[in-house]
Structure 1
Amino acid sequence: MRLVLLGPPGAGKGTQAARISARHGVPAISTGQLFDQQISAGSPLGRRAEHYVRAGELVPDEIVLDMVAERLATGIDCGVGFLLDGFPRTLPQAEALDRMLTATCGPLHLVLDLDVDETEVLARIGRRSLSEGRLDDNQETARRRLKVFAEETAPLRSHYAEQGLLRTVDGTGTPDEVAARIEEILAAAAHPELRAARP
């Protein structure tokens, strides 16, 4: 199982990634966590990324891809598959990932796109900001992040739709409800005859 999980900030990607990982025994790989691990370890990749992270800038694609490639190559658990949480973010990253996977473990199986409307996302971010003290999650910052996400992700969705990989998941409701929708999609992908048998 080789999956990508897309969705705007506040869509619940981290929650659902953890559930998929636990249920199917595949590692959930978040680029944010990779950055933290590499920087904390003082690795060459971490030192290259740290400047951009500390400055609040986007880490260049080359560094992000190197980190993902290293994680997939050295992580013994990735032999059973993986779930990329929030990566790729741009079309060039997606195209580079396609090339990397084709040359190594094989292409992606599915791309799950958590669909949550902006009003709901802003409400969730507001609640998270209050409960966790995340001062960066104010409404103005959130709207800006959503705008950037929409601009970056539109061509990404088209790219995966053309490959027949994109599955849109209604991300509203409780985490259990969203997880149930995801499981239905994964079951249909693993067993196409179930999907064909539905009325």
Structure 2
Amino acid sequence: MLNIIICGAPGSGKGTQSKLIAEKYNLKHLSTGEILRNEIKFQTEIGKKAEQFISKGQLVPDEIIITMLDHILDKEMNHHKGIILDGFPRTYAQAEALEKLLKKRNEEITLLLDLKVNDEELISRLLKRAEISNRSDDKLDVIRKRLEIYHQNADEVNNFYKKLNKYVAIEGIGTVEEIFSRISQVIDSTINP
């Protein structure tokens, strides 16, 4: 199976690129952020807990995310050629937990794709998105807090996968098509070396 993590700061294009990757390679797109936003929308127990953190730009505690992901993997792993995880893991502890979840299913991560975009561009993108979305986490003060938290945790997650020779940095500035072309080249060279 092809199991990919796509990461990058908020606003780097993870969601957009994940959907394209999922479609091209027949992978199940799993966005923990999207799943959590749905939980919040429907005011589930997980949603109510998660909303307290998300609305302040904080990370949702690992135990909530890991439990949710474990249930989703049970439902989805056997129906696709793999998964694309969008924005997860965000911490070293989450990376370790993900490896355990996959290992018990005799799976592993194939690649971590890290979309690299500078903070100035990220803030600009997120403020534009705020104009058309109603997301509570797209306000300037919350954006700055999210970027700060992202930068605090990103290196340890990236280093975790660098040690496993699964990390690839991708230039995240350009058109959607240009970025997707870069990503496709990396994936294609991994599955057809």
The answer to whether the superposition gives a TM-score over 0.5 is: yes
CA positional deviation for 1:62:
1.3
CA positional deviation for 1:143:
1.9
Moved over 6 A (4+): none
What is residue 45 of structure 2 aligned with on the other side? 47
RMSD, matched Cα: 2.1
C-alpha spacing 1:76/1:52, structure 2 compared with 1 (3 Å): closer
C-alpha spacing 1:114/1:49, structure 2 compared with 1 (3 Å): same
Secondary structure at 1:92 match in 2: helix
What is residue 62 of structure 2 aligned with on the other side? 61
After TM superposition, list the pairs within 5 Å mapping 1:27-38 onto structure 2.
27-38=28-39
Secondary structure at 1:28 match in 2: strand
Structure 1, residues 39-91: CA drift from partner, whole Å, max 9, x if none?
A: 5667xxx4145223245353321121111111111126544210010011100
Amino acid at match of 1:60: P
C-alpha spacing 1:26/1:59, structure 2 compared with 1 (3 Å): same
Q: Taking structure 2 as the reference length, what is the TM-score of the superposition?
A: 0.88
Amino acid at match of 2:51: V
After TM superposition, list the pairs within 5 Å mapping 1:66-81 onto structure 2.
66-75=67-76, 78-81=79-82
Amino acid at match of 2:48: E
C-alpha spacing 1:152/1:186, structure 2 compared with 1 (3 Å): same
CA contact (8 A) 1:21 1:83 kept: yes
Q: Distance in 2 between matches of 1:74 and 1:133?
A: 30
Q: Distance in 1 between matches of 2:80 and 2:22?
A: 14
- Identity across matched positions, percent: 30
**Aligned residue pairs, count:** 189
Amino acid at match of 1:148: I
Secondary structure at 1:10 match in 2: coil
C-alpha spacing 1:53/1:132, structure 2 compared with 1 (3 Å): closer
CA contact (8 A) 2:117 2:171 kept: yes
